[in-house]
Amino acid sequence: MIKVQLTGAEETLLATLYGRALDARSEHPILGDTLADDTVRRIDYDFSQLHLTPGDAAGVALRAHQLDSWTQQFITDNPNAVVLHLGCGLDTRVHRLAPPPTVEWWDVDQADVIDLRTRLYPARPGYHTVGASVTDETWLADVPSGRPTMVVAEGLLMYLTEQDGKHLITRLLDHFRAGGRLAFDAYSPLGIRLQGLNRAVRASGATLHWGITSAAELADFDPRLRVLDEVKAFDIPGRDQLPAPYRAATTALAHVPGVNRMAQLHLLAFTPHGPAPA
Ligand SMILES: C[S@@+](CC[C@H](N)C(=O)[O-])C[C@H]1O[C@@H](n2cnc3c(N)ncnc32)[C@H](O)[C@@H]1O
């Protein structure tokens, strides 16, 4: 067993990992992430204190499934892609999608999280890790900049301030010259105000900061971004696979203006540009 002592935003990765593990153990898994389940069984941590419900687990699995599907599509279209997975936590996305070695996959999270990942998961061809804050200015220079790039950030941007989040996006768009896609989930300002209802956030003592109402806000902020798709969490594809009481609740909430935008998933394209002038 590996003893894990994480706090704050880092500790929340255990809730999402556990959600995917519970989904894998369920009678009708959505994501079927058996590696997440194996990993939970190797970690010395009281997962029961998170009080995750079957609905929470299915919600985490649906979100991951949507982001997997956008990422897989990009890899299929661009077999020489770079995938930059920000705030990866202990997510097994690279193992679920198992990209060919022609894809360079970069998992980024805080140093102690990456240290834990390295102890739990095997290496893969084309796989790299960065142990640093995403807001750290130095690590991006190591990531190849001239290949089509898929940036995925799941359960991350809400932990950043708006200023840090926007600065990160600007740095990413400046760096990746061949263009690509950005996929992420977000809470609206209302979702941020209601963060006390989020069991995992409450249990870890983490604080959520950045609320985004629609991806158009980001496209307005940087014209290199173009919105391709948007999914409201209460209306997410596969919602019919939720356990019955949760399905009924999400159907009702999906019709309440404001509440129905509390959590969303976004896919944006960013345009290619030439090398930086000398
Ligand atoms: C809710 S967890 C999500 C983890 C993973 N994406 C998943 O879905 O299981 C939030 C993750 O964001 C990471 N995180 C938060 N702020 C960060 C920062 N400034 N730099 C790097 N990682 C950060 C945490 O360490 C944690 O792994």
pLDDT of amino acid 250: 87
State the architecture of 63-270 in CATH terms.
Answer: 3-Layer(aba) Sandwich (3.40)
**Does the beta carbon of 31 sit less than 6 angstroms from any atom of ligand 1?**
no
CA-based torsion, 202, 208, 214, 215: positive or negative: negative
Quick check: 4 and 44 in contact, CB under 8 A? Answer: yes
Whole-angstrom distance, CA of residue 189 vs CA of residue 39: 34
**Does the beta carbon of 56 sit less than 6 angstroms from any atom of ligand 1?**
no
Counting ligand 1 atoms within 8 A of each CB, the residue from 5, 6, 10, 52 with the most, and so the one to mutate, is 10
Task: Give the ligand 1 atom nearest the CA of 133.
Answer: 20
State whether residue 187 is helix, strand or coil. strand
- What's the CA-to-centroid distance between 13 and ligand 1, angstroms? 6
CA angle, 120 as apex, 66 and 21 as ends, to 5°? 40
State whether residue 104 is helix, strand or coil. strand
Task: Give the ligand 1 atom nearest the CA of 13.
Answer: 2
Whole-angstrom distance, CA of residue 40 vs CA of residue 21: 7
Task: Tell me how crowded residue 188 is: count the other CB atoms within 10 A of its CB.
Answer: 21
Counting ligand 1 atoms within 8 A of each CB, the residue from 6, 39, 140, 156 with the most, and so the one to mutate, is 156
Structure tokens at 7: 């706090």
pLDDT of amino acid 276: 55
Of the chain, the percentage scoring pLDDT greater than 90 comes to 84
pLDDT by residue (tens digit) across 109-132?
Answer: 999 999 999 999 999 999 999 999
- What's the CA-to-centroid distance between 136 and ligand 1, angstroms? 14
pLDDT of amino acid 278: 52
Contacts (Cβ under 8 Å, ≥6 apart) of 107: 85, 88, 94, 114, 117, 127, 128, 129, 130
pLDDT of amino acid 251: 87
pLDDT of amino acid 202: 87
Quick check: 17 and 36 in contact, CB under 8 A? Answer: yes
| pLDDT tens sequence for the chain (278 residues) | 999 999 999 999 999 999 999 999 999 999 999 999 999 999 999 999 999 999 999 999 999 999 999 999 999 999 999 999 999 999 999 999 999 999 999 999 999 999 999 999 999 999 999 999 999 999 999 999 999 999 999 999 999 999 999 999 999 999 999 999 999 999 999 999 999 888 888 888 899 999 999 999 999 999 999 999 999 998 899 998 988 888 888 888 888 888 899 999 999 999 988 665 45
pLDDT by residue (tens digit) across 26-69?
Answer: 999 999 999 999 999 999 999 999 999 999 999 999 999 999 99
